Amino acid sequence: MLASLVGFLADFERAEDAAQEAFATAAQHWPASGVPANPGAWLVTTARNRAIDRIRRERTLAEKIHLLPAAEAVMDEFDDTVIKDERLELIFTCCHPALALEGQVALTLRALGGLQTAEIARAFLVSEETMKRRLTRAKTKIKATGIPFAVPDAHLLPDRLDAVLGVIYLIYNEGYSGRVDLAAEAIRLGRVLTALMPDAPEAHGLLALMMIHHARRRARFSGEDLVLLDDQDRSLWDMRQITAGRAVLDRAIALGGRGAYVVQAAIAALQTAERIDWPQVASLYLRLVELTGSPVVELNHAVAVAQAGDPAAALRAVDRLDLDGYLYFHSTRGEMLRRLGRDEDARAAYRRALELATSTPERRFLTQRLELL
């Protein structure tokens, strides 16, 4: 509903006000007159008409007239077929790279996720006032700078879709570290996006990735402790969601998807197998290294190589990486050194990791590893 109103009014604030008024009117009239046959269309029509009334009151003669001609007769002839689904335009507006990233995230959750400002504020651990300001700043910039309410032209689309996927994945990762509601919200957004862009392989890749990871969330922690993939209690996995995630991944691959999200989803899918095909995981990580050039991905590649049975080669690869400030670099080295029987070096690596640990579960996990040596 909000998407349709923003599209019609080209103004976030007005759309929100109009939607609120329509709900208030509904609360007044529906109990007495009964719920109309098509409540959604009724709300949109009412909101549009309220907005038009308001604009009429506000306008000083010739201004803003472009909104009016189309709007005169809408009430009578309005039906479901007229409601254009404008959520896709709204997604691209909210995730426009000219907006600050935190603004993109907040706006996406507010406008498409339908979260209240207070809920978003709680999820990002800021005050409601701060979140309100963040949203206002983003909405003001959209209006003042003429950020289009449109799906970008074909030549801009790949970059801009990347930006949208990035925002959704960011929301997901905020949820992954404990606040499950945001992760579920990101998955819902991913579903909306794949429904609106059924032929975009990376959108399916991202959705599959989030679903498969999310399906394992209950097994990742034991109390407060982090549980490694090998040690996870698989009965805690949501097998239905894993199956559904795999189906989405199949669709992404059928669409020709070979990008970073599709590859990551494929890795996640392989890791849910009874016996994990580590050489295959390693080759996918290699592809991901080519795509991202990230040393952290190289570290993951090395882990897969070690799991595939060659810890010596893995250690050589790890030692080439420049990741001294990264906790998992040292814990990974520690594990490889332990497997190679170099206990003293392993202890040193784990100790260095412990120095870098910031959370209690991380510290407890590393202390346990040290005690095992």
Partner 1 sequence: MQYALLIYAEPGYEEALSDVEREAAHAEYLALADDARCINGARLQPVATATCVRVVGGRTLMTDGPFADTKEVLGGFCLVEAANLDEAIELAARIPAARPGGAVEVRPVVQR
Distance of closest approach, residue 287 Cβ to partner 1, in angstroms: 30
Distance of closest approach, residue 171 Cβ to partner 1, in angstroms: 24
Contact 187, 210 (CB under 8 A): yes
Distance of closest approach, residue 103 Cβ to partner 1, in angstroms: 14
Q: What's 66's DSSP letter?
A: G
Question: Residue 107 or 260: which CB sits closer to partner 1?
Answer: 107
Question: Residue 152 or 279: which CB sits closer to partner 1?
Answer: 152
Question: Residue 57 or 155: which CB sits closer to partner 1?
Answer: 155
> Distance between the two ends of the chain, CA-based, in angstroms?
59
Distance of closest approach, residue 150 Cβ to partner 1, in angstroms: 8
CA pair distance 317, 303, nearest whole angstrom? 10
CA pair distance 282, 314, nearest whole angstrom? 11
Q: Which residues contact 119 (CB under 8 A, 6 or more apart)?
A: none
Site residues, partner 1 (CB under 8 A): 96, 98, 144-148, 150, 152-153, 156
Question: Residue 65 or 195: which CB sits closer to partner 1?
Answer: 65
Question: Residue 98 or 229: which CB sits closer to partner 1?
Answer: 98
Distance of closest approach, residue 105 Cβ to partner 1, in angstroms: 19
Distance of closest approach, residue 166 Cβ to partner 1, in angstroms: 18
Q: Which residues contact 142 (CB under 8 A, 6 or more apart)?
A: 12, 93, 96, 99
Beta pairing partners, 226: 221
CA pair distance 341, 373, nearest whole angstrom? 10
Question: Residue 96 or 110: which CB sits closer to partner 1?
Answer: 96
Cα 39 to chain centroid, rounded: 30
CA pair distance 242, 174, nearest whole angstrom? 21
CA pair distance 193, 338, nearest whole angstrom? 45
Distance of closest approach, residue 210 Cβ to partner 1, in angstroms: 28
DSSP characters for 308-345?
Answer: TT-HHHHHHHHHT---TT-HHHHHHHHHHHHHTT-HHH
Angle (nearest 5°) at CA 264 between 369 and 319: 45
Distance of closest approach, residue 156 Cβ to partner 1, in angstroms: 7
Pick the closest to residue 311 from 284, 282, 274 (CA basis).
282
User: With the C-alpha atoms ordered 93, 95, 99, 103, is the resulting torsion angle positive or negative?
Assistant: positive
Question: Residue 63 or 79: which CB sits closer to partner 1?
Answer: 63
Distance of closest approach, residue 163 Cβ to partner 1, in angstroms: 12
Distance of closest approach, residue 96 Cβ to partner 1, in angstroms: 8
Question: Residue 148 or 256: which CB sits closer to partner 1?
Answer: 148
CA pair distance 365, 225, nearest whole angstrom? 7
User: Residue 280 burial (CB < 10 Å; 0-12/13-18/19+)?
Assistant: middle
Question: Residue 149 or 285: which CB sits closer to partner 1?
Answer: 149
User: Residue 339 burial (CB < 10 Å; 0-12/13-18/19+)?
Assistant: middle
Question: Residue 62 or 73: which CB sits closer to partner 1?
Answer: 62
